[in-house]
């Protein structure tokens, strides 16, 4: 099992419904949005933008501290900028292997609550991450896309 490193980069996206600055996922230095099956979709990551309550909810979900947002214990990673999962999402399975390792697997494209088995469509992963480093990367996205003065709450 190869241990990968998750890092985050800031991306500016122009378009509907306006400018969104979001946290992009990089695995071993490669942005997931550079894979053709993800790049061709008009989606943004679920982290680093939106109301602070939305951001905290996404962080908790990706850390497995709350329920998944899709059926079959699947979690969205990239979503429509309107946040409606029915418009489309790149989803995956997230599971703890043990106290030190977490895995991302079975990347798929979902739309209108239809599950599209995309192992053929999105041929990336499985990725294994060291838990501590993964957790720090995910938590670092809080308010990433916004100036601090927009929020009265401080990062935790």
Question: For residues 66 and 88, which has the higher predicted lDDT (pLDDT)?
Answer: 66
For 48, phi then psi, to 5°, come to 90, 0
Tell me the pLDDT tens digit for each residue of 7-57.
999 998 877 667 789 999 999 999 999 988 888 888 999 999 988 999 999
Q: How far is CA 62 from the centre of its chain?
A: 7
Query: 47, 54 in Cβ contact below 8 A?
Result: no
Tell me the pLDDT tens digit for each residue of 66-85.
999 988 899 999 999 988 88
Question: What's the order of all strands across the beta sheet hosting 30-31?
Answer: 6-13, 20-27, 30-31
pLDDT score recorded for residue 120: 38
Least confident residue range of 69-73, 86-90, 111-115: 111-115
**Burial of 132 per CB tally in 10 Å (0-12, 13-18, 19+):** exposed
The pTM assigned to this predicted structure is: 0.86
Indicate if the pLDDT at residue 154 is higher than 90: no
**pLDDT confidence tier of residue 116, bands split at 50, 70 and 90:** low
pLDDT score recorded for residue 115: 54
Mean pLDDT, the chain, whole residue set? 87
């Amino acid at each position: 099992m190869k241990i990968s490193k998750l890092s985050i980069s800031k991306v500016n996206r122009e378009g509907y419904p306006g400018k969104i600055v979001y946290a992009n996922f990089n695995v071993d230095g490669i942005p997931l949005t550079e894979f053709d099956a993800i790049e061709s979709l008009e989606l943004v990551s679920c982290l680093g933008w939106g109301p602070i309550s939305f951001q905290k909810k996404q962080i908790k979900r990706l850390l497995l501290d709350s329920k998944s947002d899709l059926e079959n214990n699947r979690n969205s990673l990239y979503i429509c900028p309107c946040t409606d999962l029915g418009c489309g999402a790149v989803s995956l399975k997230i599971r703890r292997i043990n106290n030190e390792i977490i895995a991302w697997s079975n990347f798929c494209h979902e739309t209108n609550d239809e599950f599209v088995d995309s192992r053929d469509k999105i041929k990336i992963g499985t990725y294994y991450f060291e838990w501590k480093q993964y957790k720090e990367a995910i938590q670092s996205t809080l308010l990433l896309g916004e100036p601090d003065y927009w929020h009265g709450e401080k990062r935790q």
